Amino acid sequence: MSNSGRVDELSTAFLTETGAIPALTGVSFDIRPGETLAVVGESGSGKSVTALSAMRLLERNARIEADALRFRRRDGSVIDLARATEKEMRRIRGNEIGMIFQEPMTSLNPVLTVGDQIGEAVAQHRRMSRAALRAEVLDLLGLVGIPAPEDRIDQFPHQMSGGMRQRIMISIALACRPNLLIADEPTTALDVTIQAQILRLLKRLQAELGMSILFVTHDLAVVSEIADRVVVMYGGTVLEQGAVGDVLTRPVHPYTRGLLDSLPGQGATRLRAIRGTVPAPQDRPPGCLFAPRCDHAREVCERARPALVDRGEGHPARCVRSPEIAP
């Protein structure tokens, strides 16, 4: 296995009193060593559920099934996270796989100093004296560009700006120098200037630490800035994936093209919105999931769900009409 990780046929459903509601269906992709793979789509497309399913962090009413969730560990061995014990998962979470959540004010404990919270992440997986632990926390604060770490280490989250708090979340995720970093919408609540700083920081840390990044976002502009490859999700499944340059310049699925057309600065005087909304999990159509919103849909699209087909150069799409409509 030459990849850092591989998701094979991941499906997740939430069990309710009225039955199982599917959230993901047959999601597959791989993450290569040292690369950034972006998972993009509208709200409700299944991006965050994919990340949380792979980490096995969903509620007890979630049923997660997969052919395999392979992850290459530091020692070179490969573990299937779908079949790992909870004890094995606790050794991996925060240690070999780090995770940045999208809302630092709800993820950070308001009554603990940021130094204590970073130190807790380190102490869970590494034994060291209190003095050594404080020195390690100061190093981590410096690593993520926090100015005057000796002063900041004893501050509380509310004493910091949004950008500072996000850097604290990144330092917690990197506390044990993970092989893989999962970043779930890490720049959503930030203004564009701070967002750009966080993206530059992640790219710098990736180069220094040699880690892979799974970057979850709804923003294709961010994808173009940070990612090497991209997976486009809709309705809990993958509609298109490939190298960022290929997918963003010559999309072969109407949904991806619709997302790109809705971005500002595309030469149009008015933004073009995709009509309709993402269907609720219990109301998904039997054929192509995007067919009710697609301008290119035909009767064949409504009858059966298309397979993810690669028509060349590692750029597969789930659309029977992509050869006709591709640029």
Please report, in angstroms and rounded to a whole number, the separation of the first and last CA atoms in the chain: 34
Binning pLDDT at 50, 70 and 90, where does residue 314 land?
A: confident
Give the C-alpha separation, 327 to 251, whole Å: 7
Q: Which long-range contacts (CB under 8 A, 24 or more apart) does 322-327 make?
A: 322/252, 322/253, 324/296, 325/252, 325/254, 325/296, 326/250, 326/251, 326/252, 327/250, 327/251
Binning pLDDT at 50, 70 and 90, where does residue 148 land?
A: very high
Give the C-alpha separation, 159 to 117, whole Å: 15
Q: What is the DSSP letter of 293?
A: G
- Say what angle helices 192-209 and 162-173 make with each other, to 10 degrees: 20
Binning pLDDT at 50, 70 and 90, where does residue 266 land?
A: low
Closest to 297 in 3D by CA, of 316, 274, 314:
274
Beta-bridge partner residues of 30: 6
| Model confidence at 189: pLDDT above 90 | no
Percentage of residues of the chain with pLDDT beyond 90: 80
Phi, psi of 107 (to 5 degrees): -90, -30
Phi, psi of 285 (to 5 degrees): -70, 160
Question: Residue 66 is encoded by which pair of tokens?
Answer: 């997969």
Q: CA-CA distances (angstroms) from residue 215 to 48, 57, 79, 188, 230?
A: 10, 17, 21, 12, 9
| Model confidence at 20: pLDDT above 70 | yes
Give the C-alpha separation, 196 to 81, whole Å: 33
Binning pLDDT at 50, 70 and 90, where does residue 269 land?
A: low
| pLDDT tens-place string over residues 47-76 | 999 999 999 999 889 999 999 999 999 999
pLDDT at residue 248 in the model: 94
CA 202-205-211 angle, to 5 degrees, is 95
CA 238-244-250 angle, to 5 degrees, is 85
Q: Average pLDDT, whole number, for the chain?
A: 92
Beta-bridge partner residues of 40: 217, 232
Q: What is the DSSP letter of 72?
A: E
Binning pLDDT at 50, 70 and 90, where does residue 273 land?
A: confident
| Model confidence at 313: pLDDT above 80 | no
Question: Residue 12 is encoded by which pair of tokens?
Answer: 């997740």
